[in-house]
Chain A
Amino acid sequence: QQPVQSPQAVILREGEDAVINCSSSKALYSVHWYRQKHGEAPVFLMILLKGGEQKGHEKISASFNEKKQQSSLYLTASQLSYSGTYFCGTENFGNEKLTFGTGTRLTIIP
């Protein structure tokens, strides 16, 4: 089943913070976060694995609650370049494939 992302869309002023959530109904092995700008490929931001290992860009932070099967992406001091659609991709045990959520559209205004 497809993970659920919230909010579906958010508008921020430059410098404000945002949190994007991703929730799954199945047990998760890992959560991957991507940002996609219109007409471009998804760009890798962060991966979080069961057990606590994670890897990502310096200015991006995220959390992974294994018990609740949820992950959150934290965007602080947002910049205009942060605009785009954010997708979480979830990996269930034994699948080794990603199931992507419906996305969160983030718009940053000056």
Chain B
Amino acid sequence: DTGVSQDPRHKITKRGQNVTFRCDPISEHNRLYWYRQTLGQGPEFLTYFQNEAQLEKSRLLSDRFSAERPKGSFSTLEIQRTEQGDSAMYLCASSSIRDTTYEQYFGPGTRLTVT
């Protein structure tokens, strides 16, 4: 059990550019979640997957955001035409529905800065 990993850890991009983040969940965890966190706030839910199926997407998520989990293992989150308001920490978490308590374990996050 190596924990949830995310790549890159930091990303600086210019407004209007596209960015893609990767998340590798804990092995055998079939649920994967994406959250966004801004300074002084709690994580905000974006979307989640069970295996390769995207089960829910936040209404707050504009059509510039897309997430995939093609083989039910790692996931990618893409932001197109980035805006300064997209600057935040993007957190990934995973859990197992085989656990009756399905607690979520978070990765270290990707800090995005849009200039």
Contacts and interface: CB of A to CB of B under 8 A. Distances in A.
B104 A98 contact: yes
Interface string A90-110: 000001111111110000000
A96 B42 contact: no
A41 B45 contact: no
A98 B101 contact: no
Interface stretch (A12-20, A42-50, A63-71): A42-50
Given A87-B43, A97-B33, A100-B43, A44 B105 contact: yes
Interface in B81-113: 91, 100-109
A65 to B, nearest CB: 19
A64 to B, nearest CB: 13
B108 A100 contact: no
B56 interface: yes
A17 B43 CA distance: 26
Nearest to A56: B103
Interface of B: 33, 40-45, 48, 55-56, 91, 100-109
